Structure 1
Amino acid sequence: MKILQGIPVSPGYRVRTAYLLNADGIQITEKTFSDPSRADAEKERFLEAVESSKAELYGEKERLRALLGQDMLQILVDYHLTLLDDKNMREEVITRIGRDLNTPEYALSLSLRRSIKALQGSDNEYLRQRVADLKDFETRLQRHLQGLRQESMSDLPVEVVIVARDLTPAQTVGLDRNKVVGFVTESGGPTSHTAILAKGLGIPAVVAVNGITNDILGGETIIIDGVKGKVMIDPNAKTRAEYEALEEEYNRAQVLLRTEFRYLPAETIDGRRMRLYANVEFPQEVDSAFEYGAAGIGLYRTEFLYTGRRQIPDEESQFKVYREAAEKFKNRSVVIRTLDLGADKIAEEVSNIKEMNPYLGWRSIRLCLGRPEIFRPQIAAILRAGAYGNVKMLLPMISTLEELGSAKRVIESVKDDLRKRKVTFNPDISIGAMIEVPSAALQAEGFADEVDFFSIGTNDLIQYTLAVDRINERVANLYQPTHPSVLELIRQVIDVGAQRKVEVTLCGEMGGDPLMTLLLIGMGLRDLSITPMAIIRIKQIIRNITFRHAREVAHNAMKLSTAGDIENYLREELAAIST
């Protein structure tokens, strides 16, 4: 038996046969040609490949809808269609063919390198996964240029776990939903195609399993532990039996939770009512939030509108997206966060900006304040969407009161513009601040005078408090959500919110971790915004505890001096809960 470790991105367990998906890449065998008279024919071949790719994509979109419903994968298909319709991209390839006598295959590769290079090395995990989108787009067009077929996952003889270097939307279209029951990939992360597909299908997946495609031939028995991120090849009889039992237990619990807990309130035994909101990255995830019984959208990330584009999205296109979410949730809260990226990651027109340390550089609210042509259209779109539902605006990475004041002045200026244009909007929209840097947490009392709500972003708060790059594997052990200093900052913000009657929501990964539920509730937190999949599990814990006991747990935990001691104590308390 061989055990490999990866990153779990969709929970569950599977003991099945491994199916190795072909991982061969497409090669460019001819880069240039010498006869200029050949240029027109090569240009025509490129345009034909574009049209055949578009036809394929429209077919994929319908099949994905049948497979997953209105799922987030469709936006990836729409993204490819947008690229195919990109006039600048087409003209650049055509120019390279005619001017430089590049083959369409090579001209396409060269034209996309700039965008790919801009996203590679990003400090933002979401953006690093968008590199895969661009590469998949290129692979699709190259395949049509070279007349190659895409390997599919249809007509499989038995239930299998797919093993691959990575998965693309094109590969998943023919997926046999009754036979594909898990995924393991060598690359990818929490926002990779594999993660998105697995979550949409509700099947376990583990990504970033180094060397898995070299260790698997296909046909072996493989175990996926989608909770701990373990993958076992050719397990012994004892291990296989243990995981078969875990799989049965987990599946039974999921059926129970989806039926019994979906419509029940997140309320403790002694009557403490919590609100569980959903974090949303794509418009199609709004449906998943409904499915899992979310109280609303606690964090609507808007970065997808800006990445992989040659131009900044205009007000109208953003308004349509925000309005759709507001109308779906009607009177329930929809918290839309303004752009939270660096200048080098959002569009080619501003991507020439390079920084030595993007984590601490010109990003997020700093970028928006410096580039009003980016900030103002988004503010206008959010304000307009506020006329169609309970929309709130969230400002990220606020570190000083001066920044917050500047942002609020811009918002008021945009309101004046909308009045002059006689456009309907919500003039009384609630404004919130992300508390994700220590300076904001320490000055929470001052911020409470200026905003309607706080949203604690624990991912960055931990990172900035402990000076730890959370995506650097060399220091990953130092990224500690249970570190006493982190917990003290969170408690301070919660206390200020209670004293000043400012709503406080926690929207980082910590909120969706069952280990932290007792502690956060005991600190006095009432609102969590988590991934839709996590809502039922967290609700289950809440309904099996008392607020009184949670307060005791928080009190005891905060007396401990190390992250390890706190984590071990919380594990003991979680294990004692009857769920």
Structure 2
Amino acid sequence: MQLKGIAAASGYAIGPAFIMQEQAQDVERKVIDASQVEAEVSRLQHAVNQAMAELEKIKDDTAAKLGEHHAEIFATHILVLQDEEFVGQALEKVRSESVNAEYALHEVAQQLIDIFSSMDSEYMRERAADFRDVSKRVLAALSGEKSASLNDFESPVVLFAHDLTPSDTAQLDRSKVAGFATNIGGRTSHSAIMARSMEIPAVVGLKNGTETVNNGDMIILDGARGLIIVHPDQDTIAAYEEKKQKFEKRQEEMKLYKDKPTVTLDGKHVELVANIGNPEDALGARNNGAEGVGLFRTEFLYMGRDNFPTEEEQYQAYTTVAETLGKEKPVVIRTLDIGGDKELPYLELPHEMNPFLGYRAIRICLDQVDLFKTQLRAILRASVHGNIKMMYPMIATLAELRQANAILDETKAELDKEGIAYNKDMEVGMMVEIPAAAIIADQLAKEVDFFSIGTNDLVQYTMAADRMNEKVSHLTQPFNPAVLRLIRMVIDAAHKEGKWAGMCGEMAGNLTAIPILLGLGLDEFSMSASSVLPARVLLSRLSREDMQDIAAQALMMEHEDEIQRFVQERVEAVNQLLV
């Protein structure tokens, strides 16, 4: 029997299943006497303090084991417990309704969980797990229960759970837990991100894994394909044992490439950089060997709060990233890309039938100039602290690009008048994610310093298929000849004007796509931090000259499946890494 989920962390685990049962927590509503209210308030405050102490220890342990970058999530959890919007409301509920602390905390937490869970953005939906984690810890403190250990196993197991909280994941012992699988979650959940850093193979989003699998069942967990094999036969176990050995050997070899430059077999240097969503991610990018940041998604500075970040807050965030990476390493900051599946509760956007085709990204910024200028000022001010570059998202026309640049020029003039320093030679580029922009790339290239191709949106707009819609997910085809031809047009247009072209969509880190992209002349590959080392190893084994022939042949083919098979058959280095 096989179960299919989402590949969250690569690697292979073989062993008996252990089903983590959800601990029942008392959330019964109990009315208390008025004379007991303050005692109940004190009980809740004591439980919160106990939870904060536990989180402080987990934070310190995580920092020592995984680095400060991953410990930040627990610092955030501590802040949640200090937030009046959370604990303050629960305390007020105890007082105003004369109810028990457990019920008050659970009700407030559930309201917040429901709000985040209903958001369109996967990133924001995953934040609901933070409130589940924090409330679960406080409820355990209120009940006096000690959390069950996830590491009390005689031999390494494959752990199955409905969900794993960040603190659950951080405390896993790699020698006791060979891999884990959860019913819910996605690649951007904290548990998935931590699994990748801890090198624990993981599959998430199984839906009913804990109900289908029994304790002690022999399991193979394939973290590369998002696959669970239940009761495999001996031949399958032997095949996966061999895969596991090859994978682990490859992981050790990759670590030797961490501090090496990204140079192809024929001596061509390409830039290998990372996509990040917040300042803390910069450390993860650096620790994974990235040569800089190719996409700083600044919208996450605006999310999870109830007002716009100030110019100073943004300036500090951009400066932190530049200083974390070092003076010379590039940091490409994308201006605000809100709308579509990313909403701000305090920015009242109109309800739209097709939000991905509507009022979003640069369209909002050109309409709300003050909002745009605040960000531009912060980016310009930060530009003196490192090799900062800036790019606009969702440009569709030459007029939009010129309008954005005109506002940038106005902002520079204002800073000049105020005597505020900035890098007057800062590179300014744009993302190419709309087919219209790719088609007129020859015109746009004359007025930008670089292009960055956003394949996630470029694919969905080219194929007219919503990438969030399972019914049309088969049309999300980055290898479709139409998409590849648009990519070639963009790269060629940039090079004709002496400009560079990068890519920051998921395709940039796809090992099968890299040979084609290298052959098309892509100068910069930006990807998730965990994809950097495999990409560097692959690029070191490829000749750009040879890949030009591969790319030319691929673009003449009819189907994306045909193109992928062709690359994997013709480029041995890809097969060596697709273990």
Q: Offset of 1:456 from its aligned partner?
A: 0.5
Match of 1:61 among 44, 59, 62: 59
Report 1:415-454 matches (<5 A). Answer: 415-454=412-451
User: Aligned letter for 2:27?
Assistant: I
Q: Offset of 1:505 from its aligned partner?
A: 0.5
Aligned to 1:311: 307
Bigger mean CA offset, 107-116 vs 237-246:
107-116
Number of residue pairs matched? 575
- Give 3-state SS (helix, strand or coil) of 1:28's partner: coil
Report 1:356-505 matches (<5 A). Answer: 356-372=353-369, 374-505=371-502
Aligned to 2:291: 295
User: In the aligned structure 2, how far is the partner of 1:478 from the partner of 1:315?
Assistant: 40
Query: Where do 5+ consecutive residues of structure 1 fail to align?
Result: none
User: In the aligned structure 2, how far is the partner of 1:16 from the partner of 1:163?
Assistant: 12
Whether the 8 Å contact between 2:568 and 2:575 is mirrored in structure 1 is no
User: In the aligned structure 1, how far is the partner of 2:112 from the partner of 2:434?
Assistant: 30
Whether the 8 Å contact between 1:75 and 1:282 is mirrored in structure 2 is no
Q: Offset of 1:101 from its aligned partner?
A: 4.6
TM-score with structure 2 length normalisation?
0.91
Q: Offset of 1:244 from its aligned partner?
A: 0.6
Aligned to 2:281: 285
- Give 3-state SS (helix, strand or coil) of 1:266's partner: coil
User: Aligned letter for 1:12?
Assistant: G
TM-score with structure 1 length normalisation?
0.91
Aligned to 2:14: 15
- Give 3-state SS (helix, strand or coil) of 2:282's partner: helix
Whether the 8 Å contact between 1:459 and 1:508 is mirrored in structure 2 is yes
User: Aligned letter for 2:46?
Assistant: E
- Give 3-state SS (helix, strand or coil) of 2:303's partner: coil
Match of 1:85 among 82, 87, 91: 82
Identity rate of aligned residues, in percent? 37
* Structure 1 residues 341-368: Cα deviation after superposition (integer angstroms, max 9, x where no partner): 3399555433686444332233323334
Aligned to 1:570: 567
Whether the 8 Å contact between 1:331 and 1:390 is mirrored in structure 2 is yes
* Segments ≥4 residues shifted beyond 6 Å: none
* Structure 1 residues 238-296: Cα deviation after superposition (integer angstroms, max 9, x where no partner): 1111111111111112212212x334433333333222112223434333333333221
User: In the aligned structure 1, how far is the partner of 2:288 from the partner of 2:101?
Assistant: 46
Report 1:150-549 matches (<5 A). Answer: 150-259=147-256, 261-329=257-325, 330-342=327-339, 347-350=344-347, 354-372=351-369, 374-549=371-546
Aligned to 1:5: 4
User: In the aligned structure 2, how far is the partner of 1:68 from the partner of 1:289?
Assistant: 13
* Structure 1 residues 510-558: Cα deviation after superposition (integer angstroms, max 9, x where no partner): 1111111111111111211112222222222222222222111111111
Q: Offset of 1:339 from its aligned partner?
A: 2.7
The change in CA–CA distance for 1:548 and 1:145 in structure 2 (over 3 A counts) is same
- Give 3-state SS (helix, strand or coil) of 2:571's partner: helix
User: In the aligned structure 2, how far is the partner of 1:141 from the partner of 1:523?
Assistant: 54
User: In the aligned structure 1, how far is the partner of 2:495 from the partner of 2:389?
Assistant: 20
* Structure 1 residues 113-165: Cα deviation after superposition (integer angstroms, max 9, x where no partner): 56544443444322222232233333333333444433332444322222211
Query: Where do 5+ consecutive residues of structure 2 fail to align?
Result: none
The change in CA–CA distance for 1:22 and 1:408 in structure 2 (over 3 A counts) is farther
Q: Offset of 1:20 from its aligned partner?
A: 2.1
The change in CA–CA distance for 1:130 and 1:376 in structure 2 (over 3 A counts) is farther
Whether the 8 Å contact between 1:343 and 1:350 is mirrored in structure 2 is no
Whether the 8 Å contact between 1:185 and 1:207 is mirrored in structure 2 is yes
User: Aligned letter for 1:17?
Assistant: P
Aligned to 1:70: 68
Whether the 8 Å contact between 2:217 and 2:230 is mirrored in structure 1 is yes
Root-mean-square deviation (Å): 2.7
- Give 3-state SS (helix, strand or coil) of 2:273's partner: strand
